Chains A and B, each alone.
Chain A
Amino acid sequence: MRELVVQVSFALYAALTLGGAVWAVTAKSLVRALLGLTLSLMGVAALYVLIAAPLVALMQILIYVGAVVVLIFFAIMLTRAQAEQEEAGARDTGRYLRAGAAGLAVAGLLAAACLRHGPKISGTASEIPPSDIGAAFLGPYVLGFEVISVVLFAAMAGAVVLAFERRKPR
């Protein structure tokens, strides 16, 4: 019974994730594409919960849905004026075919390699306390932890410098 529930919920969440992703790349309106992206992110968060990583699922919702999606929404609003006709114009099928072929080729190659040479293990996921992740961050991986904060600072400062309106004397 428990197995069945897990399998059914995995199928549901995987369908939600991939369906949201397909909606995000095919929707004509960018706001609808963003809604599809949010659905997909929520599906991935549910998959994280299913694999016994609730902290990562919480961070996924907090960072992606709470921050990144809002940022992209700001980007849509700041470039609103012509967003509609940019996506509406020039629907040539050749471009779609080439893009689909490229995506399928890369992912299919990786999937074939994974199917043939993937590790033959059937481990069960176990939940670990968040303090272990904190110990990993402040123990052996403290350099990466500090570097990510420097990267975030550099990105913020770069964004401010780029978007800052210079008042040139004319």
Chain B
Amino acid sequence: MSPLLLYQLVAFGLLAVGLFGLLSRSSLVGMLISVELMLNGAGLSIVAAGQLTPMPDELGQAAALFVMGLAAAESTLVLAIVYVVRKRFGSAASDAVSELRG
């Protein structure tokens, strides 16, 4: 197996585990942790593709740094949202945040 394939398989593993956590966790903070795992898989895949193919190396690394910046912005906003949900609903579980009962 080529090194690129091995790196992509690790990234897919992170994606699978993150998706599993996103769907099975019941607290909003746990779901945020799972999303961070998936973003890490994306970054790993991008850097591996940039370093191991003939494309310019700095392109892949710059894209990975973009992903990191977006992850930082996203987690800041999610922290504020979790804080507001906790204040308004009294709990940070995803089940609590449904006013319409279906």
Q: Which chain B residues in 47-61 approach chain A with CB under 8 Å?
A: 47-48, 51-54, 56-59, 61
Cβ contact of A53, chosen from B24, B28, B37, B51, cutoff 8 A: B51
Is the beta-carbon distance between A96 and B24 smaller than 8 angstroms?
A: yes
Say what secondary structure dominates the interface of chain A.
helix
Main secondary structure of the interface of B (DSSP, over half): helix
Residue pairs across A and B with CB atoms within 8 Å: the count is: 251
The 6 listed contacts between A and B (C-beta, < 8 Å) are: A51-B47, A79-B91, A102-B23, A103-B16, A128-B57, A148-B69
A60 to B25, CA, bound (A): 25
In angstroms, how far is the closest chain A Cβ from the Cβ of B78?
8
CB-contact partner of B37 in A10, A24, A121, under 8 A: A24
* Chain B interfacial positions (CB closer than 8 Å to A): 2-10, 12-30, 32-34, 36-37, 40, 43-44, 47-48, 51-54, 56-59, 61-62, 64-66, 68-84, 86, 90-93
Query: With A37-B37, A83-B27 given, is the CB distance from A111 to B12 under 8 Å?
Result: yes
Contacts of B10 in A (CB 8 A): 14, 17-18, 47
| Contact call A120/B2, Cβ cutoff below 8 A | yes
Bound CA span A71–B6, Å: 31
Given known A-B contacts A55-B61, A86-B91, A103-B17, A68 and B83 have beta carbons under 8 A apart: no
Question: Given A71-B75, A162-B84, are A56 and B25 also a contact pair (CB < 8 Å)?
Answer: no
Measured CB to CB, the closest approach of chain B to A14, in angstroms, equals: 5
- Among B27, B29, B76, point to the contact of A155 (Cβ < 8 A): B76
Interface residues of A (CB under 8 A from B): 10, 14, 17-18, 21-22, 24-25, 30, 33-34, 37, 40-41, 44, 47-48, 51-53, 55-56, 59-60, 63-64, 67-68, 71-72, 74-76, 78-79, 82-83, 86-87, 89-90, 95-96, 98-100, 102-104, 106-108, 110-111, 114-115, 118-126, 128, 132-133, 135-137, 141, 144, 148, 151-152, 154-156, 158-160, 162-163
Asked if A56 meets B47 with Cβ closer than 8 Å, knowing A22-B17, A24-B37, the reply is yes
- Known A-B contacts A37-B33, A103-B17; A51 and B84 likewise in contact (beta carbons under 8 Å): no
Residue contact B86 to A78, C-beta cutoff 8 Å: yes
A68-B47 in contact (CB<8A): no
User: A17-B14, A56-B65, A110-B15 provided; 13 other pairs, C-beta below 8 A?
Assistant: A17-B10, A21-B13, A24-B37, A25-B17, A34-B33, A51-B47, A60-B68, A82-B92, A99-B24, A126-B57, A128-B61, A136-B56, A155-B73
